Amino acid sequence: MTVDEIYLAMAKNISSVIKEDWQSAVLNLEVLDGMVSNTGTYINTSHEEKQIDVDEFDFQLTFDILELRSITTEGENNKWNKAIFRLESDGKFNMEFIWDQQLHDQVEKLS
């Protein structure tokens, strides 16, 4: 899969689980040792913030996100363990990659 295909899969999953008209959505990702955790919210057309039911996402998306991390951190460049995917209802999106050293240290300490 390409990075663009993974972004499209993320957008499709978000769009498919929101059951009402919406304006924007945010998906927060944590990727640690081959595991993905995600939470999300969206703003509906009444300007109310609501939770995205990420449990309804296609199971394949977890593997797609792991692939995205593999592609984007190849050669240990651009390390990240958190990311924020922002999506507008018109399809425009933004992806922000974040390195959280404290999170990394906690995981290392527990392993």
- CATH number for the domain that contains residue 33: 3.30.500.20
pLDDT, tens digit (0-9, with 9 covering 90-100), for 27-50 = 999 998 789 999 999 999 999 999
Question: What is the model's pTM?
Answer: 0.91
Query: How do residues 48-79 score in pLDDT, each as one tens digit?
Result: 999 999 999 999 999 999 999 999 988 777 88
Domain count, the chain: 1
Distance CA 81, CA 96 (A): 11
Taking only Cα atoms into account, the Rg of the chain, rounded to an integer number of angstroms, comes to 14
Q: Which range marks the domain in which residue 44 is found?
A: 3-110
Q: Which residues contact 72 (CB under 8 A, 6 or more apart)?
A: 3, 78, 80, 97
